[in-house]
Structure 1
Amino acid sequence: MARKDEYYNRAKQQGYRARSAYKLKQLNESSSLLSPGDVAVDLGAAPGGWLQVASEEVGEHGKVIGVDLQRIKELEARNVTTIRGDMTEEDTKEQLFEAIGDDGADVVLSDMAPNMTGEYNLDHARSVYLARQAFEVALELLDSGGDLVVKVFDGPDLPDLRSDMEKEFQYVRATHPDASRQESSELYLIGKKRITAPVKKGDECEVEIVDVGSEGDGIAKVDEFTVFVSGAEMGETVTVRITDVKPRFAFAERVDDA
């Protein structure tokens, strides 16, 4: 049986609206994207296959919000809300912010693809454009430590998009799930653990050591963000260079005369 028939038939049998539901299932299995209680946003959600999978994974205590210019037929799941609109427009974003809540989203998903022209370079460029739109919207929606998934066709514009994502997430990986058609050039870029720190690796700044951690490192605050400084003592004001950034804290080394 051909792969496309396998997943198409399986979707029909199991009640999913699209065979692409299995792509999200496989992405979730390999990258731990969705957990019970999560708030998930699906950009370009029609016809709703990814909404169904996300709804199952986040459970009754989670929320799933789907956005699309097209009307999404209502789902039976109580934890799913749909918004009809352009994800890049302010009124749609306002509806999204209200639906998500003050804590932000835990994961943003995008399976969007352009209308195919058959001209590969054009289709690739359009797919990167859509993925970049989803990426930029996700930066506004994601909570610290949140994840992003975007679909893109492989090609020369991909490295720049990946590089930009790597600046905003702890790490980024590309994957081609088994449910994707073998001949397809589509890839999914997965950004894990959104970094919302006010500092970036390589930054230099002057900080005051306000406490000492359990490992003996000095603790400083930059806009309420915690920075661990090796070789510093409480009460010192030191110049440091940021060496590593995590979603909720960073590490730094002294660059002044200790």
Structure 2
Amino acid sequence: MTGRDEYYNRSKQEGYRARSAYKLKQLDEAADLLAPGDVVVDLGAAPGGWLQVAAEAVGDAGTVVGVDRQRIRPLDHAVVETLRGDMTEDATVDRLRETVGDAGADVVVSDMAPNMTGEYSVDHARSIHLARQALGVAEDVLAPGGDLVVKAFDGPDLADLRADMDDTFEYVRSIRPDASRDSSSEVYLVAKGYLTAPIAAGDELVVEIVDRGDEGDGIASVEGFTVFVPDAEVGDRIEVRIDEVKPRFAFAERV
């Protein structure tokens, strides 16, 4: 039995709308993406296979929002909401942001793929364009520390996309699920830990220590963002270099 037959048959037997459901299952297993209570956004969600997998993972306390230009047939999962619209239009993004709420999404996933032309360079470029659209949406709706999954076709523009994602997330890795067809050049970039800090590693700045942490480090605040500085006392005003940035705080050293 070929890999294609295996996942196609499994999707029919297990009630998933598309064999691609197993890609998200495998991505989740590899990268720990989905958790009970999460808010998940699925871009290009039709026909709904990824919505089904996400709904099972987040449970009754979660929310899954699917967006597609095509109509998505209603699902039996109460936690799933669907929006019909084009993510390149501001009105659709506004509706998505309103549906997700002020707290933001925990995960944005995108299995969007271009209409295939058969010319590899064109299909590759279009896949990168769609992945960048998903990255832009994620930057609009993700909560600090949130995760992003985008599909793209391997090729010369993939490295630049990954570099841009590296600037926005703690780390990025490439995963090719077993459920991907052998003939496909698709790869999924999985970005973990959305960074919303007003600073970046390597920045040098002057900070004032306003508090002390549980482990004795001095705490400074930069535009409301917490920076830990070792060997610093409350009231100190010192020049520091940012060493490491996390979604909700950063570490620095004296210059």
Using the size of structure 1 for normalisation, the TM-score is 0.97
Matched, 1:197 2:197: yes
Matched, 1:115 2:99: no
Which residue of the partner structure matches residue 227 of structure 1?
A: 227
Q: Does the 8 Å contact 1:105/1:146 carry over to 2?
A: yes
- 1:23-62 deviation per Cα after TM superposition (whole angstroms, max 9, x unaligned): 0000001111000000000001011100010010000110
Identical amino acids, percent of aligned pairs: 67
- 1:136-184 deviation per Cα after TM superposition (whole angstroms, max 9, x unaligned): 1111110001000000000000000000000111100001000001221
Q: Secondary structure at the match of 1:40?
A: strand
Matched, 1:140 2:140: yes
Amino acid of the residue matched to residue 82 of structure 1? T
Amino acid of the residue matched to residue 132 of structure 1? R
Q: Does the 8 Å contact 1:212/1:218 carry over to 2?
A: yes
Amino acid of the residue matched to residue 165 of structure 1? M
Q: Secondary structure at the match of 1:16?
A: coil
Which residue of the partner structure matches residue 161 of structure 1?
A: 161
Instruction: Give the Cα separation in 1 of the matches to 2:217 and 2:23.
Output: 44
Instruction: Give the Cα separation in 2 of the matches to 1:15 and 1:124.
Output: 31
Q: Does the 8 Å contact 1:88/1:137 carry over to 2?
A: no
- 1:97-138 deviation per Cα after TM superposition (whole angstroms, max 9, x unaligned): 121111100000000000111111111111001001101111
Which residue of the partner structure matches residue 52 of structure 1?
A: 52
Instruction: Give the Cα separation in 2 of the matches to 1:21 and 1:178.
Output: 12
Which residue of the partner structure matches residue 35 of structure 2?
A: 35
- 1:218-247 deviation per Cα after TM superposition (whole angstroms, max 9, x unaligned): 110011111001222110111111110001
Q: Secondary structure at the match of 1:144?
A: strand
Residue correspondences, number: 255
Instruction: Give the Cα separation in 2 of the matches to 1:107 and 1:93.
Output: 16
Q: Which moved more, 1:198-207 or 1:124-133?
A: 198-207
Gaps of 5+ in 1: none
Matched, 1:206 2:206: yes
Report the Cα offset of residue 71 of structure 1.
0.8
Amino acid of the residue matched to residue 130 of structure 1? L
- Map 1:41-190 → 2, pairs under 5 A: 41-190=41-190
Kindly report structure 1 stretches of 4+ aligned residues shifted beyond 4 Å.
Answer: none
Amino acid of the residue matched to residue 66 of structure 2? G
- 1:62-95 deviation per Cα after TM superposition (whole angstroms, max 9, x unaligned): 0000000111111111100000001132211121
Report the Cα offset of residue 21 of structure 1.
0.2
Instruction: Give the Cα separation in 2 of the matches to 1:134 and 1:88.
Output: 10
Using the size of structure 2 for normalisation, the TM-score is 0.98
